[in-house]
């Protein structure tokens, strides 16, 4: 069942951490409308994936007999989209995942961080704000940090430049990488050594022998930490696979004579309070599959893609030959299940999520830098 809700007032920017950037797109079409919106049009009601009613309608017709979707929107308000995602998730089972190996290694990791000369934090370039641990700053303190946005091949050049400027304003060193192909890996190694270059200078002043620079690589599950280490070493030393939770123990590896790297399991908070962020973790495969319902997550992804001009409902129809009936993502998933998988909505949801993760919809970032 699907429920239609009237939108609550948009929260203030201070209460949002994601999707606060407004970007304009020329000649972008989200869907076809029978009549253009007027200046007095109110913001449309919102359809959530998990309610009771099967209709979503963006603009009411004057005769109140039906609804149509807006056409030719030239901009997307990411603050409103983030607000809507939070609303959509209220009717769903909370996404939570905290397996035993994370609990076991978190304390050990905090102890190991005290030995680090520099910390390399890896995030998913598609959702950089959702893939940082809320306690990260407290753990690192004043320790030197390099921020790595992995999977740069899955976002646009414009998004890449926006994030680079955003972090540069904060004085954070950021490197974009592609763990699969190795792009950015060698630059990362050089930067880690240069940032910690004063380590042995201080040791010599104390009469101590030089030692390798110690760099810890940390981040959420499945953001590409182990793949980056393997690229740096030019051989497979650390287990890596396209799913969360593969690395379960910390492991030190040597990169030549000058750099020691610590590969660590993905760290997640014990409880994820921000369910909008949790849904994005599920969409991007940065959290265990047992943590979420595939149909719910795929339904919200469809609703998000329909709102993003680079994709829109036309791209969804082009790929699956199914109309986004009323804009309801969950209904779209179930229809796809009937058409292609003999009524198996789970398989349909898996197909949609897999297509997104493989870049079948193009270079799609699900977050924008805050203003």
Return d(Cα 287, Cα 274) in angstroms, integer: 14
Mapping DSSP to helix (H, G, I), strand (E, B) and coil, where does residue 352 land?
A: helix
17, 79 contact by CB (below 8 A) = no
216-246: per-residue pLDDT in tens? 888 998 898 888 888 877 766 655 445 444 4
10, 83 contact by CB (below 8 A) = yes
Please, which residues have CB within 8 angstroms of residue 45's CB and are 6 or more apart in sequence?
Answer: 4, 5, 6, 7, 56, 57, 58
Structure confidence at residue 236 (pLDDT): 65
What is the phi/psi pair of residue 4, to 5°? -105, 125
Mean pLDDT to the nearest integer, 60-78: 43
Structure confidence at residue 122 (pLDDT): 94
- Cα torsion 10, 14, 18, 20: sign: positive
9, 302 contact by CB (below 8 A) = no
Structure confidence at residue 65 (pLDDT): 34
pLDDT band at 333 (very low <50, low <70, confident <90, very high): very high
Question: Mean pLDDT over all residues of the chain?
Answer: 77
Q: Is it the case that residue 45 has pLDDT exceeding 90?
A: no
188, 148 contact by CB (below 8 A) = yes
CA distances from 52 to 44, 108, 142, 328 (A): 18, 46, 50, 11
Cβ burial, residue 363 (10 Å; 0-12/13-18/19+): middle
The whole model's pTM is what? 0.75
């Amino acid at each position: 069942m699907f429920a239609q809700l009237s939108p609550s007032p948009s929260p203030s920017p201070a209460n949002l951490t994601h999707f606060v950037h407004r970007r304009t797109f020329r000649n972008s079409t989200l869907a076809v409308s029978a009549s253009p919106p007027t200046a007095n049009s109110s913001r449309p009601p919102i359809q959530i994936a998990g309610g009771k009613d099967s209709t979503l309608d963006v603009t009411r017709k004057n005769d109140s007999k039906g609804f149509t979707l807006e056409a030719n929107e030239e901009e997307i308000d990411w603050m409103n989209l983030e607000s809507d995602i939070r609303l959509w998730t209220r009717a769903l089972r909370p996404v939570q995942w905290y397996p035993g190996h994370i609990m076991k290694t978190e304390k050990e990791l905090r102890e190991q961080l005290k030995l680090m000369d520099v910390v390399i934090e890896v995030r998913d370039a598609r959702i950089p704000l959702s893939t940082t641990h809320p306690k990260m700053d407290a753990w690192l303190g004043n320790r030197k940090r390099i921020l790595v946005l992995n999977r740069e091949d899955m976002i646009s050049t414009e998004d890449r430049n926006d994030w680079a400027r955003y972090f540069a304003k904060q004085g954070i060193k950021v490197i974009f990488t592609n763990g699969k192909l190795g792009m950015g890996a060698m630059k990362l190694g050089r930067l880690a050594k240069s940032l910690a270059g004063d380590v042995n200078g201080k040791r010599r002043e104390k009469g101590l022998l030089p030692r390798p620079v110690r760099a810890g690589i940390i981040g959420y599950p499945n953001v590409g930490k182990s793949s980056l280490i393997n690229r740096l070493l030019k051989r497979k030393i650390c287990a890596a696979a396209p799913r969360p939770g593969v690395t379960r123990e910390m492991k030190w590896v040597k990169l030549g004579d000058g750099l020691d790297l610590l590969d660590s399991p993905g760290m997640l908070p014990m409880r994820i309070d921000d369910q909008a962020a949790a849904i994005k973790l599920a969409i991007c495969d940065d959290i265990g599959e047992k943590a979420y319902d595939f149909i719910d997550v795929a339904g919200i992804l469809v609703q998000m893609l329909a709102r993003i001009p680079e994709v829109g409902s036309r791209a969804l129809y082009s790929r699956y030959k199914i109309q986004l009936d009323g804009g309801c993502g969950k209904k779209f998933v179930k229809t796809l299940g009937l058409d292609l998988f003999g009524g198996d909505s789970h398989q349909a949801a898996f197909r949609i999520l897999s297509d997104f993760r493989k870049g079948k919809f193009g270079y799609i970032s699900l977050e924008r830098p805050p203003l």
